[in-house]
Amino acid sequence: MTDPAKQEPEEEDELNPVGVEFWLGQILMIGGVAAGIWLSARAGFSEAARFSQHQDLRLARNTLRVVRKELDENLRQVRLARANLEKGKPTRVELRTLHLQKASGKSYMTAVNPRVLAEIERLYAGPLDRVLPEIKEGPIDPREVKRQLVTLERVLARADKTVLPLLAAQEEELARLEAKVRGGR
Protein backbone atom coordinates (compact mmCIF):
# COMPACT_ATOMS: atom_id res chain seq x y z
CA MET A 1 0.00 0.00 0.00
CA THR A 2 1.25 3.45 -0.85
CA ASP A 3 0.97 6.47 1.50
CA PRO A 4 -1.09 9.28 -0.24
CA ALA A 5 0.91 11.96 1.62
CA LYS A 6 4.03 10.55 0.06
CA GLN A 7 2.35 10.20 -3.27
CA GLU A 8 1.19 13.90 -3.76
CA PRO A 9 3.92 16.10 -2.28
CA GLU A 10 4.59 17.92 -5.56
CA GLU A 11 0.78 18.77 -6.08
CA GLU A 12 0.17 20.19 -2.57
CA ASP A 13 1.38 23.71 -3.47
CA GLU A 14 -1.13 23.87 -6.30
CA LEU A 15 -4.16 22.93 -4.08
CA ASN A 16 -5.86 26.04 -2.60
CA PRO A 17 -9.20 25.69 -0.67
CA VAL A 18 -9.60 29.51 -0.58
CA GLY A 19 -9.97 29.77 -4.33
CA VAL A 20 -12.45 31.41 -6.74
CA GLU A 21 -15.11 28.80 -6.02
CA PHE A 22 -14.78 29.47 -2.31
CA TRP A 23 -15.32 33.24 -2.70
CA LEU A 24 -18.11 32.73 -5.24
CA GLY A 25 -19.86 30.46 -2.78
CA GLN A 26 -19.58 33.09 -0.06
CA ILE A 27 -20.91 35.86 -2.32
CA LEU A 28 -23.86 33.72 -3.45
CA MET A 29 -24.69 32.84 0.13
CA ILE A 30 -24.62 36.50 1.25
CA GLY A 31 -26.66 37.60 -1.78
CA GLY A 32 -29.15 34.78 -1.28
CA VAL A 33 -29.68 35.61 2.38
CA ALA A 34 -30.14 39.34 1.62
CA ALA A 35 -32.53 38.68 -1.27
CA GLY A 36 -34.46 36.14 0.82
CA ILE A 37 -34.97 38.61 3.63
CA TRP A 38 -36.00 41.36 1.25
CA LEU A 39 -38.44 39.12 -0.64
CA SER A 40 -39.97 37.70 2.50
CA ALA A 41 -40.51 41.21 3.84
CA ARG A 42 -42.23 42.23 0.58
CA ALA A 43 -44.35 39.11 0.62
CA GLY A 44 -45.17 39.77 4.26
CA PHE A 45 -46.41 43.24 3.34
CA SER A 46 -48.61 41.91 0.55
CA GLU A 47 -50.01 39.20 2.77
CA ALA A 48 -50.71 41.67 5.55
CA ALA A 49 -52.45 44.04 3.12
CA ARG A 50 -54.49 41.19 1.75
CA PHE A 51 -55.33 39.93 5.22
CA SER A 52 -56.49 43.38 6.27
CA GLN A 53 -58.69 43.72 3.19
CA HIS A 54 -60.04 40.21 3.68
CA GLN A 55 -60.78 40.92 7.31
CA ASP A 56 -62.71 44.07 6.38
CA LEU A 57 -64.77 42.21 3.80
CA ARG A 58 -65.44 39.30 6.14
CA LEU A 59 -66.53 41.55 9.00
CA ALA A 60 -68.65 43.69 6.66
CA ARG A 61 -70.38 40.60 5.27
CA ASN A 62 -71.03 39.19 8.75
CA THR A 63 -72.32 42.54 10.01
CA LEU A 64 -74.59 42.84 7.02
CA ARG A 65 -75.93 39.39 7.76
CA VAL A 66 -76.87 40.52 11.27
CA VAL A 67 -78.44 43.71 9.91
CA ARG A 68 -80.40 41.59 7.46
CA LYS A 69 -81.63 39.35 10.27
CA GLU A 70 -82.76 42.43 12.17
CA LEU A 71 -84.52 43.74 9.07
CA ASP A 72 -86.24 40.39 8.49
CA GLU A 73 -87.52 40.45 12.05
CA ASN A 74 -88.81 44.01 11.65
CA LEU A 75 -90.51 43.15 8.37
CA ARG A 76 -92.09 40.11 10.01
CA GLN A 77 -93.54 42.43 12.64
CA VAL A 78 -94.84 44.83 9.97
CA ARG A 79 -96.45 41.94 8.07
CA LEU A 80 -98.09 40.74 11.28
CA ALA A 81 -99.29 44.26 12.01
CA ARG A 82 -100.83 44.47 8.54
CA ALA A 83 -102.64 41.17 9.06
CA ASN A 84 -103.89 42.25 12.48
CA LEU A 85 -105.06 45.61 11.18
CA GLU A 86 -106.99 43.91 8.42
CA LYS A 87 -108.73 41.75 11.01
CA GLY A 88 -109.31 44.71 13.28
CA LYS A 89 -107.14 43.21 16.00
CA PRO A 90 -104.92 45.37 18.22
CA THR A 91 -101.31 45.27 17.18
CA ARG A 92 -97.97 46.72 18.04
CA VAL A 93 -94.67 46.96 16.24
CA GLU A 94 -91.34 47.52 17.92
CA LEU A 95 -88.71 48.25 15.33
CA ARG A 96 -85.21 47.20 16.33
CA THR A 97 -82.36 49.15 14.83
CA LEU A 98 -79.54 48.37 17.25
CA HIS A 99 -77.40 46.50 14.74
CA LEU A 100 -78.07 49.02 12.00
CA GLN A 101 -76.89 51.77 14.33
CA LYS A 102 -73.87 49.77 15.45
CA ALA A 103 -72.95 48.84 11.89
CA SER A 104 -72.86 52.49 10.89
CA GLY A 105 -70.05 53.24 13.29
CA LYS A 106 -67.73 50.46 12.09
CA SER A 107 -64.92 51.54 9.82
CA TYR A 108 -64.96 48.28 7.85
CA MET A 109 -68.52 49.07 6.76
CA THR A 110 -66.97 51.38 4.18
CA ALA A 111 -66.71 48.18 2.11
CA VAL A 112 -70.51 48.25 1.84
CA ASN A 113 -72.29 50.47 -0.66
CA PRO A 114 -73.81 53.30 1.48
CA ARG A 115 -77.01 52.97 -0.51
CA VAL A 116 -77.74 49.64 1.20
CA LEU A 117 -77.83 51.06 4.72
CA ALA A 118 -79.49 54.23 3.43
CA GLU A 119 -82.34 52.23 1.90
CA ILE A 120 -82.86 50.27 5.13
CA GLU A 121 -82.82 53.53 7.05
CA ARG A 122 -85.31 55.07 4.62
CA LEU A 123 -87.57 52.09 5.14
CA TYR A 124 -87.66 52.67 8.90
CA ALA A 125 -87.89 56.44 8.66
CA GLY A 126 -90.55 58.49 6.88
CA PRO A 127 -94.06 57.03 6.54
CA LEU A 128 -93.41 53.97 8.72
CA ASP A 129 -92.03 56.14 11.47
CA ARG A 130 -95.19 58.23 11.38
CA VAL A 131 -97.68 55.40 11.16
CA LEU A 132 -96.32 53.08 13.86
CA PRO A 133 -97.18 55.29 16.85
CA GLU A 134 -100.70 55.66 15.44
CA ILE A 135 -101.05 51.89 15.14
CA LYS A 136 -99.82 51.51 18.69
CA GLU A 137 -102.54 53.88 19.93
CA GLY A 138 -105.19 51.72 18.30
CA PRO A 139 -107.83 52.31 15.60
CA ILE A 140 -109.94 55.45 15.93
CA ASP A 141 -111.41 55.92 12.50
CA PRO A 142 -111.82 53.20 9.80
CA ARG A 143 -110.46 55.64 7.21
CA GLU A 144 -107.32 56.01 9.28
CA VAL A 145 -106.94 52.23 9.37
CA LYS A 146 -107.18 52.17 5.59
CA ARG A 147 -104.48 54.81 5.31
CA GLN A 148 -102.28 52.92 7.75
CA LEU A 149 -102.75 49.74 5.74
CA VAL A 150 -101.79 51.51 2.54
CA THR A 151 -98.65 52.82 4.23
CA LEU A 152 -97.68 49.37 5.49
CA GLU A 153 -98.34 47.88 2.06
CA ARG A 154 -96.10 50.46 0.44
CA VAL A 155 -93.33 49.90 2.97
CA LEU A 156 -93.47 46.14 2.46
CA ALA A 157 -93.59 46.51 -1.30
CA ARG A 158 -90.51 48.74 -1.22
CA ALA A 159 -88.73 46.28 1.04
CA ASP A 160 -89.47 43.40 -1.32
CA LYS A 161 -88.79 45.31 -4.50
CA THR A 162 -85.79 47.41 -3.58
CA VAL A 163 -84.24 46.83 -0.16
CA LEU A 164 -84.05 43.05 0.10
CA PRO A 165 -82.69 42.51 -3.45
CA LEU A 166 -80.15 45.27 -2.86
CA LEU A 167 -79.08 43.67 0.39
CA ALA A 168 -78.82 40.24 -1.20
CA ALA A 169 -76.79 41.64 -4.09
CA GLN A 170 -74.43 43.39 -1.68
CA GLU A 171 -73.93 40.25 0.38
CA GLU A 172 -73.15 38.33 -2.79
CA GLU A 173 -70.75 41.01 -3.96
CA LEU A 174 -68.92 40.98 -0.61
CA ALA A 175 -68.67 37.19 -0.70
CA ARG A 176 -67.30 37.36 -4.24
CA LEU A 177 -64.72 39.99 -3.30
CA GLU A 178 -63.77 38.01 -0.22
CA ALA A 179 -63.21 34.88 -2.30
CA LYS A 180 -61.20 36.90 -4.80
CA VAL A 181 -58.95 38.37 -2.12
CA ARG A 182 -58.53 34.98 -0.47
CA GLY A 183 -57.85 33.32 -3.82
CA GLY A 184 -55.14 35.85 -4.61
CA ARG A 185 -52.65 34.02 -2.35
Residues of this chain that interact with another protein (CB under 8 A) are 12, 15-18, 22, 26, 29-30, 33-34, 37-38, 41-42, 44-46, 48-50, 52-53, 56, 104-107, 109-111, 113-115, 117-118, 121-122, 125-127
CA proximity to 149, closest of 71, 70, 91:
91
Amino acid at 121: E
Q: What's the CA gap between 162 and 176, in Å, rounded?
A: 21
Identify which of residues 43 and 175 has a Cβ nearer to another protein in the complex: 43
Burial of 174 per CB tally in 10 Å (0-12, 13-18, 19+)? buried
Q: What's the CA gap between 70 and 99, in Å, rounded?
A: 7
Torsion of CA 120, 126, 129, 131, to 10 degrees: -130
Identify which of residues 127 and 139 has a Cβ nearer to another protein in the complex: 127
Identify which of residues 62 and 110 has a Cβ nearer to another protein in the complex: 110
Amino acid at 18: V
Q: How far is the CB of 88 from another protein (least distance, A)?
A: 28
Q: How far is the CB of 50 from another protein (least distance, A)?
A: 7
Q: How far is the CB of 140 from another protein (least distance, A)?
A: 22
Identify which of residues 49 and 83 has a Cβ nearer to another protein in the complex: 49
Identify which of residues 8 and 137 has a Cβ nearer to another protein in the complex: 8
Q: How far is the CB of 10 from another protein (least distance, A)?
A: 12
Q: How far is the CB of 84 from another protein (least distance, A)?
A: 25
Q: What's the CA gap between 154 and 27, in Å, rounded?
A: 77
Largest alpha-carbon pair distance within the chain? 125
Q: What's the CA gap between 92 and 38, in Å, rounded?
A: 64
